[in-house]
Chains A and B, each alone.
Chain A
Amino acid sequence: MKNIISLIVLGILITSISELRAQFDGGSISGNVSIEAQSYSPDSLRGAPEVNEKLLSNAYLNLIYRNQNVEIGFRYENYQNPILGFDARLKGQGVPYRYITYRDDMFEVTGGDFYEQFGSGLILRAYQEPALGIDNAIDGFRFKVRPVEGIEFTGLIGKNRVFWSKGEGIVRGGDLNISLNDLLEDYMPKDYRFTLGGSLVSKYQPDRDVFLKMPENVLSYATRFGVIADNFAVDAEYVYKYNDPNATNKFRYNDGQGLVFKSSYFGDGYGIALNAHWIDNMDMRSDRNARAQELFLNFIPPLTKQHAYSLAALYPFATQFNNETGIQAEVTYQIPRDSWLGGHYGTILTINYSDVWSIDTTVIDEFTYKSNFLGVGQRRYFRDFNIDLSRKWSSKFKTDLTYLNIIYDRDVMENEGAPLYGKVFQNVLILDFQYMFENDHSVRTEFQHSWSVQDSAMLSPDNMNGNWAHLLVEYTIAPHWYVTVYDQYNYGNDDIDRQLHYINGSVAFLTGTTRIQLGYGSQRGGIICVGGICRAVPAANGVFMSVTSSF
């Protein structure tokens, strides 16, 4: 309890400090801060483990100083100890991220840590995702040159972050981005914007393998184009990687390749988006022995919709970087106002469909396989068909109705494809009502229900099967207070003893750019995903607190 009080006091202090946005002659300082803490009481039935520390917390502070063309920044991080579900090797505190950048109109140079993305990220993406505990920032040197209008070249060299140290592999990369409209202004149509791009990334790691010959330098290249017009946008990227035997592909010597296609069309009151990709052996890490969420070098943009409602996110899709193909289509239609279906205030219908399969491969030997470019395999990883109907009935009342039908190959997502759980077939229905009172008060309720069956016998009881019901009530006193209470009830669990309620309540206070939330209750274990990258979260019982602020 003493720890919790200390954290609350610290949060309030930071709130006060955040009001002091420093502006002075010598430049400006900005930044943001985040503190999350959770206390733990063991609960064997809900799967909440005993935690010796009783309280765990993750916190960070970003501070950026800017003065004319120069920017200096750092991030202090504190995991003492990391909240359950985050990699325990994050334990500790320090300043893992610091940099200095000089930039002008033509030139930019950074020394130290930086994030970067080439194209859609297929070949290189250094990024931070605090919700997952991912940070593969590159510590090194980067320059960007814009020699003429419409051309930008980026070159970099460095090593990726892994927890509190750097990976062994050295990453070298170059990217060229060309805006044809800017470069060839007189020759290009005005209604369309064309972009071209190309990237090269190479990694070096010494070969110290005793049993196998390892390529010390692994090269990959990517090329891309994009067209944007008033009513449509298309872009595509192709990536190729030379032999890269590594722990994620079980040391296969195949080359890798991938193709990503995205398109969208906007009409009067409707929009259509169609995305597809085909990915073979494209899990790139800067260390060939890295696994889990260590030392990512690239990123595959996800094909499936990321659901925010709790029961819709019970079975989230995790991108399979080494073997995956699929499509996603989405249609959004605004039913005309003042029509019988549209109502006076408007109704929006969104239909989304995604279907993800394995690619077509045939094993040749223990080191190689044959892969048919754009071929579709026999195994369906995931399918999601969902409809959302959002309607505002009056100036005070609006509703949201969502239905989902999901097929989830739990073995692929949670057991590297080995047979253990089978597939999950899930249907979810969600009703969301929001009513606004006169005096800036409003109430929102969610009624969610999930029906799910699994096509294999449960070998051992778990807390993630069967039907669920979820009721949430959120009361808001705008603009400062949010009070939320919910109950998730796994009434259909195969194991009668695990047909449990997960009751949770929280209060959030917002002021300016600061948000403070304090809650208490049981949270179910499960998997959370951001952008197709996922982590397992154990169940937790106890008090939780979150403070975020920017200044």
Chain B
Amino acid sequence: MKILKIYLALILMFAFFSCDIVEPPYKKNSSVTPVDTTKRKVLVEDFTGFRCGNCPEASHKAEQIAELYPDRVILLALHAGPLSIPTPTRKYDFRTPETREIGDYYGLIATPYGMVSRRKFNGQTLQAPSAWAGFTEETLQLEALLKINLTGSYNESSREITANLKLDYIKDSELSHYYAVYIVEDSIVQYQQDDRQFPNIHVNDYVHNHVMRGSMNGTWGLPVSNSIIKAGSSTDLQLKYTIPENKDWRPKKLSLIAIVQNNETKEVLQVEKIYLYK
């Protein structure tokens, strides 16, 4: 019986010390965070689908994060997964070979999921929307290895996009560094299931933003250099891409997102974004 009393005392102690009760207000005083330009910018990728009713809420979460860290967080919506597949009645296909390849690579089976600079947290790269903000804040604290200076232009007659990148290395580069430039479109008005609008969840004029349309140089990009770029040095890169005739992209709504990633871990080391038309 003495042993039993000891156990019960242990249990009560355990109960006493292992519970936090949160009182309202539940919201934290989140305010716009000052910019520290010596740190990395963060790419928040949002796997989404037009038949995914929870995805608009996730996109909203991503927008909130971007607003909290102005010019430090760049959003990219990747349409992939089962709920992005067109149906006989909803035929518009947002998917691209790149979004499907990225989804397959990370084992995407459902949406919404997302990635924060394609980093692993607790062994997982795909993260629920509720986890994005915390991991974004953590990633924003990491020292930048390089800075991307990105400029772009569009030739209306030839439908050609030109991207110029100047990579200023703050630390030595590695041969595993790859760069890719993605083409992104905003303000696409198309159908979306939006469970927030219950019971009118079928929204025909939903505005899709940050939609990945394609890549100028492949899903994972190309090597930055065949040799190490020393800290304090730069390299200049240029890409050209002609928009195919069958694409309905609107150049005035297009932007370019340039990433430099470690092609072994796929971690995005730096990211930059510009609009083709200001």
A residues apposed to B, CB below 8 Å: 87-91, 145, 147-148, 151, 153, 162-168, 172, 174, 176, 198, 200, 202, 204, 208-219, 221, 242-243, 245-247, 251, 253, 287-292, 367, 415-416, 418-420, 459-461
Contacts and interface: CB of A to CB of B under 8 A. Distances in A.
Contacts of A214: 22
Contacts, number: 145
Given A208-B135, A219-B18, 12 more contacts: A162-B122, A162-B124, A166-B123, A200-B14, A208-B137, A208-B138, A209-B134, A211-B30, A211-B133, A219-B19, A367-B26, A416-B54
Interface in B112-137: 121-124, 126-131, 133-137
A234 to B, nearest CB: 25
A418 B201 contact: yes
11 contacts: A87-B109, A89-B126, A162-B124, A210-B137, A212-B28, A213-B27, A215-B20, A289-B130, A292-B110, A418-B201, A459-B87
Contacts of B133: 209-211
Given A147-B3, A147-B4, A164 B123 contact: yes
A289 B19 contact: no
B26 A213 contact: yes
| Most chain A C-beta atoms within 10 Å of own C-beta, residue among B24, B28, B128 | B128
B53 A176 contact: no
A254 to B, nearest CB: 11
Given A208-B138, A210-B28, A289-B131, A219 B122 contact: no
Nearest to B133: A210
Given A162-B124, A163-B123, A210-B65, A288 B130 contact: yes
Contact of B22 (A153, A172, A243, A459): A243
Interface in B7-53: 7-8, 10-11, 14-15, 17-22, 24, 26-28, 30, 53
Contacts of A208: 134-135, 137-138
Contacts of B126: 89
Contacts of A88: 104, 107-109
Contact of B28 (A163, A167, A209): A209
A391 B131 CA distance: 56
Interface residues of B, number: 56
Contacts of A89: 106-107, 109, 124, 126
Given A91-B107, A208-B134, A210-B28, A215 B122 contact: no
Contacts of A145: 7
A419 B201 contact: yes
A193 to B, nearest CB: 20
A212 B26 contact: yes
Contacts of B15: 200, 202, 219, 221
A215 B21 contact: yes
User: Residue among B11, B26, B110 with the most chain A CB within 10 A?
Assistant: B26
A534 to B, nearest CB: 13
B130 A416 contact: no
Nearest to A169: B122
A479 to B, nearest CB: 40
B130 A216 contact: no
B103 to A, nearest CB: 9
Contacts of B155: none
Nearest to B20: A215
The 7 A-B residue pairs whose C-beta atoms are closest, nearest first, are A165-B123, A88-B107, A208-B134, A219-B19, A202-B18, A460-B87, A210-B133
Given A164-B123, A418-B195, A460-B88, A151 B26 contact: no
A209 B108 CA distance: 24
Contact of A243 (B7, B21, B90, B124): B21
B269 to A, nearest CB: 22
B214 to A, nearest CB: 21
Contacts of A164: 123
Nearest to B19: A219
B68 interface: yes
A287 B122 CA distance: 10
A108 to B, nearest CB: 15
